[in-house]
Amino acid sequence: MTEKQVIEQFFFDGSLYKKITDIDIIKILENFLSGSIYYDSRKDVEGFNSINNCESTFKLIYGIGSYFSCNLNSSPRICYSSQRVNETCIQEIILKCKRFNDLFHFFIHLEKDEDGNTISISKVGQYPSIADLHIKQIHKYDKVLSKDKMKELTKAIGLAANGIGIGSFVYLRRIFEHLVFEAFQIAKKENLEFDEMKFITSKMDDKIKFLKGNLPAFLVENHSIYGILSKGIHELSEEDCKNYFTILRESIELILDEKLEQLQKDKKKKEIRSALSKICKDITTIKSRSV
């Protein structure tokens, strides 16, 4: 990942209480978060503004070592000091949306060693929440998911945002299974000779092979998603599941994106067929008039 991607993932995708201990990533984040009196456009990052429901660019206006000061003769202003981190090593960070001026607040915990070097960074609070950021983005999927399944996707995101990894995997797996069995119902209607009993008694990998022509290509190509989710539920630790959640959520979203795209294509085809049929009728009417 590029430095900007690391920063964007930390703010807009990273779950609360997840400790980052990779030294290279810590350096990237500390470099970005270090307060500066002068605005630096190179520190702009891209993210989703859940308040105004759009993608936007954000700038850092309140970083590590920042604090507000004011006197009777001036308005409040942000000042910076490398010494200004409180005793608990919790620091508020503020990003400002450049399109709408909305302020996004983040609270980070810095764990230091005896020499004062940062050995871990974690988010311990933010507003809007991670759940707010992602739940606003997934509303488009209500065209391809039922209300119940939308609730389950929302629950998965909400649990992960609050540091619950295994529980979030349960709901992602339920959505994956739903997509497979939804395709199964379609396949049965299309093929009267479909071997239903063989399908039901097969393992998930074989089920997906049975339904290859009825499932989104990304799901078929990446059927290992189901195995990872199952291992997460039965074998992996909470920390492992939290670490893997983002990529698995995005995998499910890619599958849903493909279904959404197919739905839009089918709608367009239907509209064009109808329009072409009308043109043919109009032409026939014109010909009959000329005769």
- The pLDDT of 91-110, averaged and rounded, is 93
Q: What is the pLDDT of residue 76?
A: 43
**pLDDT (tens digit per residue) in 19-53:** 899 999 999 998 888 754 455 667 789 999 999 98
**Order of strands, sheet of 118-127, starting from the edge strand that comes earlier in the sequence:** 45-49, 54-62, 90-97, 103-112, 118-127
C-alpha pair distances (Å), 269 with each of 32, 60, 138, 183, 278? 48, 46, 25, 21, 14
**pLDDT (tens digit per residue) in 266-282:** 999 999 999 999 999 88
Q: Which of 72-76, 129-133, 179-183 has the lowest mean pLDDT?
A: 72-76
**pLDDT (tens digit per residue) in 3-26:** 999 999 999 988 888 889 999 999
Q: Which of 28-42, 50-64, 178-192 has the lowest mean pLDDT?
A: 28-42
- The pLDDT of 136-151, averaged and rounded, is 92
Q: Where are the domains of the chain?
A: 3-128, 141-272
